[in-house]
């Protein structure tokens, strides 16, 4: 059965209309997709850059903080200036009384600066010198360090150059005893006895 020219034209128009509708739908979908895609990219950019500032500069401030808490002198507290001065003056008085005792053979004033083992040592040394008919003139150069200073105890390390000499009883000239000259290193231990710093012991270091 043959269609009329008008029917054929109508079918063509309907087909073109359907095709146009499909194209419009597809075009609209492409436009919507194109508009949504950039939006997702913009949202993702801050997410990817946010962690970077968190690891930026704050870490650089930690090393100076660590260096400021480093303990001085292997953990020992800095000595009180007044206590350190008191110990120093006591050390100088010790050598004055010790020198007088060796030269005059009189130990009556040694208890002012020494006690305990140190006092006994000096008394025995002076008695030994007296028994040999000698006296000793001290000539010592000091290079000392005061450390471990506290309210009750302190220490002094002294690296000394000893040029002392002995004096024979009744003689006018001096003589050098073997072992009296040279460098010596001693540590002196102090104790605060009723407000007076006194040497309680001393140790000689070899080498």
Query: Which class does domain 77-205 fall in?
Result: alpha beta
CA angle 158, 160, 166 (to 5 degrees): 130
Give the end-to-end CA distance of the chain in Å, rounded to a whole number: 134
Question: What tens digit of pLDDT does each residue of 74-112 get?
Answer: 445 456 899 999 999 999 999 999 999 999 999 999 999
- Domain-by-domain residue ranges, the chain? 77-205
Tell me how far apart the alpha carbons of residues 78 and 104 are, in angstroms, rounded to a whole number: 40
Whole-structure pTM value = 0.61
Spatial CB neighbours of 109, under 8 Å, sequence gap ≥ 6: 97, 100, 101
Question: What tens digit of pLDDT does each residue of 120-169 get?
Answer: 999 999 999 999 999 999 999 999 999 999 999 999 999 999 999 998 85
């Amino acid at each position: 059965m043959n269609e009329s020219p008008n029917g054929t034209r109508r079918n063509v128009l309907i087909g073109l209309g359907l095709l146009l509708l499909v194209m419009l739908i597809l075009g609209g979908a492409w436009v919507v997709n194109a508009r949504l895609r950039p939006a997702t990219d913009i949202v993702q950019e801050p997410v990817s850059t946010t962690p970077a500032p968190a690891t930026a500069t704050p870490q650089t401030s930690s090393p100076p903080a660590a260096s400021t808490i480093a303990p001085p002198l292997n953990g020992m507290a800095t000595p009180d200036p007044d206590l350190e001065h008191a110990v120093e003056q006591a050390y100088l008085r010790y050598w004055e009384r010790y020198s007088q005792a060796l030269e005059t053979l009189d130990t009556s004033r040694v208890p002012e600066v020494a006690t305990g083992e140190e006092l006994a040592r000096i008394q025995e040394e002076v008695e030994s010198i007296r028994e040999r008919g000698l006296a000793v003139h001290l000539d010592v150069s000091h290079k000392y360090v005061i450390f471990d200073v506290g309210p009750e105890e302190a220490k002094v390390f002294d690296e000394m150059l000893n040029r002392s000499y002995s004096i024979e009883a009744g003689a006018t000239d001096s003589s050098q005893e073997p072992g009296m000259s040279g460098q010596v290193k001693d540590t002196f231990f102090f104790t605060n006895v009723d407000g007076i710093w006194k040497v309680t012991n001393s140790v000689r270091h070899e080498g």
